[in-house]
Amino acid sequence: MLADVRLRAPQEACGLVAGEHGRTSRVIPVTNDLDSPVRFRMDPREQLNALLEIEESGSQLLAIYHSHPGGPAAPSPTDVAEAAYPGVVHLIWHSQAGIWECSGFLIEELQVRPVIIKVIPSPAAS
């Protein structure tokens, strides 16, 4: 995820996270159709293909990630209004002085609740 977020900055990056039992097994970057530094909309075809791939592999959709290159570290009102997957964590990558951090949130019925996540960088992301 971090490599994708860095690659796409200053535009928002986005994608899906698949896994089992709360552990990530796959990160699937998806094109941001809006190509914007302040909003994202996943390419519908890529998103559908990723969701089918997750289902066919027997994994679960654990999270949806996107970045806020200029902040904030929390979901925007648009993020909250457009959240459509109850029970799926929203990971928001945000940059402060060039250092990327990730925060997790559950967004259900227009309510935002922070969740604890543990990010373990892969050797390639260092």
Query: Which positions are catalytic?
Result: 12
The neighbour count for residue 106, using CB atoms within 10 Å, is 15
- Residues in CB range of 94: below 8 A, 6 or more apart: 67, 68, 69, 71, 72, 73, 100, 101, 102, 103
* Burial classification of residue 63, based on how many CB atoms lie within 10 Å of its CB (0-12 exposed, 13-18 middle, 19 or more buried): buried
